[in-house]
Amino acid sequence: MKFKSAAVITFACLFFACSSSKHNSSGLSDLAGTKWQLMYSTEKFGPRSYEIFFKKNGTLQAKHPDETRKSSYIWKQENDKVIMDFNHGYSIYTGKIIDAKTITGEATNKLGVKWTWKAVRRD
Instruction: Note the pLDDT of residue 22.
Output: 41
Residue 16 has pLDDT above 70, yes or no: no
Say yes or no to pLDDT of 13 above 50.
no
With a threshold of 0.85, does the pTM exceed it? no
R_g (Cα) of the chain, nearest Å: 19
Q: Cα separation of 44 and 112, whole Å?
A: 13
Q: Does domain 2-121 have CATH number 2.30.29.30?
A: no
Burial 4-37 (b: 16+ CB within 10 A, else e): eeeeeeeeeeeeeeeeeeeebebebeebeebebe
Asked whether the predicted pLDDT for residue 72 surpasses 70, the reply is: yes
> Distance of alpha carbon 37 from its chain centroid, rounded?
11
